[in-house]
A and B are shown apart, each in its own frame.
Chain A
């Protein structure tokens, strides 16, 4: 299957890319286009053109990794397209095909996998106070340092059941539930995706700063 066919086979493609007129409204509203050398209009155009060599280059490029997934492009598109959704598809195919390792931004996926990904399977949460080291997040301020001291004692002020199995606030997720999540990840393709990210890790980028 060609790379373009892989992109089009994603069920989100119909919603993402219907009838782009390349007007550029998406680029005008895009926060990423303001910050990075990025233009969603050009990416929409390349996919619609459908040149396999260009798709290969696109999936190997930094460009597809600049979108911040805010989806501000979707409601403003006069033709009902969703460039942000197309980006999700392109990133999926880039990882599946291994082309993501050709870009610096793509190679950074290993940090997200080892950070957020491992958080999910080990705690049952994407984000958890015990997984956010204040030293790596100085922007969270001194209040965050205070909140995470003494094993999160502050949290018990709001709810005694903090970090307790069967509790309420940030309850400890049971081993049975975590086992269910792991089986879901194995069966539904996430394990394969993670293996691909780990396999393609380049030697000079050993996934530093993995603890998000």
Chain B
């Protein structure tokens, strides 16, 4: 089965998107989605519309086998209905699990139009709504790839180590459901993903091609949800971390909110378990998302981006890039300090 680069190009609309937010990204990285919507709207001048009637896609329930196919299809049809209500035909998805779900459902409807009709009936009966399919369905990282050169032009920082003048060594981690379900829907496919590499390279960084680059972060859906099975999740993150360690990465960039969370939190857990650390000089490796990466190089304040909600400290990375920040403001919420004890817990002692 031979595939070529041209097979892994995809159409990405220029403007006018309905945005589907992510449960996981909002929960664990509440700054990331807000900052990227601001960038898309106000720095890249893209019309982005959201609607409070929009809900979860139920994707974790689907892959956790408690939401059946017909139910998730009807929920997605409802999202399309809300997009249509807003006069839009393009949809941009924040979550990689959701992106895989939407892509799979559109593909199933294409091959089984009778199923689409059945779902339309369910939706109308349950909500009185009708829907159209989006003309263009993309992930937020697709949009940032498309506009990477525009982003580079207005960037305040480059992904270069200020001390050595050398490009930062960066691991790109592509969420499995971005391109493994439908290779042609991901830029570069699943074997030679370009969606983050293209962005990182234009911004001055070097991407590490390490042996387990394509390995899953280890979420495993039901395996993380069931406490006794969580060993599956941490074991798979460990496989990746051990594989990348010899290359001494300066950071990991992931386009999936779940992957960002697991690669961040499991580093903390592994250190607690057996003192394993995977970065250079005894430090852990900062893990950030594509939104946070773009916000960082555009000069947004690190604490407005939300790096304080990561478990792995970001400061060594900020220092390498030369980002100006006030370390005393890391845990300041709306100009006042909350819960000073948390500073110590998170590894930073702050003088009140």
* Bound CA span A68–B221, Å: 6
Closest chain B residue to A150 by CB distance? B338
Judge whether B277 is part of the interface by a CB distance below 8 angstroms: no
Which stretch of B53-61, B137-145, B156-164 is in the interface?
Answer: B53-61
B35 vs chain A, min Cβ distance (A): 8
| CB atoms of A126 and B61 under 8 A apart | yes
Give every chain B residue within 8 A of A71 (Cβ-Cβ).
Answer: 100, 176-177, 180-181
Judge whether A199 is part of the interface by a CB distance below 8 angstroms: no
- Interface of A, helix, strand, loop or mixed by DSSP: helix
* Bound CA span A32–B224, Å: 13
* Bound CA span A95–B64, Å: 12
Closest chain B residue to A65 by CB distance? B222
Give every chain A residue within 8 A of B34 (Cβ-Cβ).
Answer: 158-159, 168-169
| CB atoms of B310 and A184 under 8 A apart | no
Residues A146 and B342 in contact in the complex (CB < 8 Å), given A116-B60, A190-B68: yes
Judge whether B6 is part of the interface by a CB distance below 8 angstroms: no
How many A residues touch B, CB cutoff 8 Å? 86
Interface size class of B (residues with CB under 8 A): 35 or more
Contact with A along B187-208 (1 / 0, CB 8 A): 0011100000000000000000
Task: Indicate the member of B33, B65, B179, B269 with the most A CB atoms within 10 Å.
Answer: B65
List B residues 56-109 near A (Cβ within 8 Å). Answer: 56, 58-61, 63-71, 73-75, 78, 100, 107-108
Closest chain A residue to B175 by CB distance? A70
Task: Indicate the member of A180, A184, A189 with the most B CB atoms within 10 Å.
Answer: A184
| CB atoms of A124 and B70 under 8 A apart | no
Partner of B52, one of A10, A32, A153, A174: A174
B343 vs chain A, min Cβ distance (A): 9
Judge whether A20 is part of the interface by a CB distance below 8 angstroms: no
List B residues 33-60 near A (Cβ within 8 Å). Answer: 33-34, 50, 52-53, 55-56, 58-60
Give every chain A residue within 8 A of B123 (Cβ-Cβ).
Answer: 184
Give every chain A residue within 8 A of B338 (Cβ-Cβ).
Answer: 149-150, 153-154
Q: How many A-B residue pairs have CB under 8 A?
A: 250
Judge whether B214 is part of the interface by a CB distance below 8 angstroms: yes
Judge whether B334 is part of the interface by a CB distance below 8 angstroms: yes
| CB atoms of A113 and B66 under 8 A apart | yes
* Bound CA span A32–B308, Å: 33
Judge whether B326 is part of the interface by a CB distance below 8 angstroms: no
* Bound CA span A72–B178, Å: 11
Closest chain A residue to B125 by CB distance? A187
Residues A158 and B342 in contact in the complex (CB < 8 Å), given A11-B112, A11-B115, A139-B265: no
B293 vs chain A, min Cβ distance (A): 17
Residues A74 and B180 in contact in the complex (CB < 8 Å), given A112-B64, A147-B309, A170-B30: yes
B50 vs chain A, min Cβ distance (A): 7
Judge whether A43 is part of the interface by a CB distance below 8 angstroms: no
A94 vs chain B, min Cβ distance (A): 9
Interface CB pairs A-B, < 8 A, 25: A11-B115, A12-B69, A32-B220, A35-B236, A36-B232, A68-B232, A69-B220, A71-B180, A75-B189, A108-B229, A116-B225, A124-B56, A127-B27, A127-B60, A128-B27, A132-B27, A136-B227, A143-B308, A154-B30, A171-B52, A177-B52, A180-B127, A184-B123, A187-B74, A197-B66
Besides A69-B222, A116-B61, A184-B75, 12 more A-B contacts (Cβ < 8 Å) are: A14-B111, A31-B220, A71-B180, A112-B65, A112-B66, A120-B58, A126-B56, A153-B333, A153-B338, A156-B333, A184-B78, A184-B123
B residues bordering A, Cβ < 8 Å?
1, 23-24, 26-27, 30-31, 33-34, 50, 52-53, 55-56, 58-61, 63-71, 73-75, 78, 100, 107-108, 111-112, 115, 119, 122-123, 125-127, 176-177, 179-181, 183, 189-191, 214-216, 218-223, 225-227, 229-232, 234-236, 239, 265-266, 268-269, 304, 306, 308-311, 331, 333-334, 338-339, 342, 345-346
Which 5 pairs of residues, A with B, have the shortest CB-CB distance?
A: A68-B220, A142-B345, A146-B342, A70-B216, A183-B126
